[in-house]
Structure 1
Amino acid sequence: MRTRGALLLANIISGLALGFTLSNIGFVDYAELNRMFTFQDPRMLLSFAGAVVIIAAVFAVLRVRRTPGRVHAGVVIGAVLFGTGWAISGGCPAIPIAQLAGGYLPALVTIVGVVVGTRLCRWASGRYFKLDRGSCGL
């Protein structure tokens, strides 16, 4: 039980830190995200690039080696839908939660969209791509 409580506390602290960071760098502001997607302001893209460089360095130090798996048919379609949804709503799955915490109530629509999209993905993956339900996230 003690380990479960420590893990819960670590998750809460990590979530609060993520929300705080997202808010401070502007990731919860729709206008900022719109400027990123329309290439008007490279700051957000540079934030992403910095994150990729940092995690690549961490993986190199920890000697994490992963063999890429086979890309299935739903990945390209899913990536396009994910990017389109993010551009329209101003948030990937973590962003609307931080927006909601900041009092931005339209984020509820995005959260509902994430849930409905995940359910549709699970349905389509099983029916058309013959994949397991775990390939859709949430």
Structure 2
Amino acid sequence: MARPEVVLNFLQFDDLGLLFVMGGAAVVTGITFAIATKTLDRAPLTGREYLRRTKSFDRNVVVGGVVFGAGWGISGICPGAAYASFGIGNWPILWAVAGMFIGAYAQGRLRSRIADSSAGPATAD
């Protein structure tokens, strides 16, 4: 997953090996969450209540998924694997990582502007 050419081959259905990697990770994570939420009363590291966090399915989830998928398809690498690819000397991936940071910053600025404009003008007491 740390080599963009492998990811691009997967996305073009030429090499489905990553399907086993992602599928195996999803199975292990699903089993862990199913067991941990039933057997543990506190999170192991933080000590907080151990519950699944659910998020409503809204426009932001869809837009975020589309942007994430487009970035993954264009760069050929997902964010987690982009950092791992530094370890194998893939320095051109710095462009993709820079794009991730710029996109995250732009999204934060946009959401704060939208929140500020929807709050309306402040009134004096």
**TM-score calculated relative to the size of structure 1:** 0.67
2:93 counterpart of 1:107: yes
1:54 aligns with 2:54: no
Report what 1:98 is aligned to. Answer: 84
Residue 61 to residue 124, structure 1, CA distance change in 2 (3 Å): same
Name 1:32's counterpart in structure 2: 6
Q: Under a length normalisation based on structure 2, what TM-score does the superposition of the two structures give? A: 0.73
Counting only pairs closer than 5 Å after superposition, residues 1-138 of structure 1 correspond to structure 2 as 27-63=1-37, 65-66=51-52, 68-128=54-114, 130=115
- The 8 Å contact of residues 74 and 125 in structure 1, kept in 2 or not, is answered as no
Most deviating of 67-76 and 112-121: 67-76
Provide structure 2 residue ranges, at least 5 long, that are not aligned to the other structure. Answer: 39-50, 117-125
1:86, 1:92 within 8 Å by CA — same for their partners in 2? yes
Give me the CA root mean square deviation: 1.9
Query: Identical aligned pairs, as a percentage?
Result: 28
**Greater Rg over alpha carbons, structure:** 2
The alpha carbon displacement at 1:125 in A equals 1.7
Give unmatched runs, 5+ long, in structure 1.
Answer: 1-26, 132-138
Deviation, 1:47, is 1.2
CA distance in 2, matches of 1:41, 1:48: 13
Task: Indicate if the aligned counterparts of 1:96 and 1:107 stay in contact, CA closer than 8 A.
Answer: yes
SS in structure 1 of the partner of residue 13 of structure 2:
coil
More helix by share: 1
Shift of 1:67: 5.4
| Corresponding residue pairs, total | 104
